Structure 1
Amino acid sequence: MATTKRTTKPPPPPAAEPGDCKPCGGTGNVPTTVRVGRKRRPVGQQDGLCLNCLGSGTDPDA
């Protein structure tokens, strides 16, 4: 009988602190979908600057 490979789930990301920006979670980067071709199909994601906090990672309304 073949053995099965079992993997564990990675730990969840740390919870956002009260002063952290909501869209980026305090990192300053947000994922941006990259689209290519005539029909503009999505092929991946790249990091983009968070426009809410402008990369600082702190909530501007706090």
Structure 2
Amino acid sequence: MAATKTPEPTPAQCSVCKGTGEVSRTVLVGRKRRAVGQQTGLCLNCLGSGEAPTDQP
């Protein structure tokens, strides 16, 4: 009998970056910390993968 292969479940998206792997941060300059714009950076929750982190080792 032929073995049927079960499809792997798709991983859930990261809730912080919405699956993109990047987050926007406000850029502050000067002594009064004036906001001048935004810069994208790596999502620290999923480390840029876009997948929700799991508790499994």
TM-score, normalized by the shorter chain, greater than 0.5: yes
Alignment correspondent of 1:23: 16
Does structure 1 residue 51 correspond to structure 2 residue 48?
no
Larger C-alpha radius of gyration, 1 or 2? 2
- More relative contact order, 1 or 2 (CA 8 Å, 6+ apart): 2
Q: Which consecutive residues of structure 1, in runs of 5 or more, have no partner in the other structure?
A: 1-17
Q: State TM-score, norm by structure 1.
A: 0.67
Aligned residues: 45
For the residues of structure 2 that align with 1:23 and 1:49, how far apart are their CA atoms? 11
For the residues of structure 1 that align with 2:28 and 2:54, how far apart are their CA atoms? 32
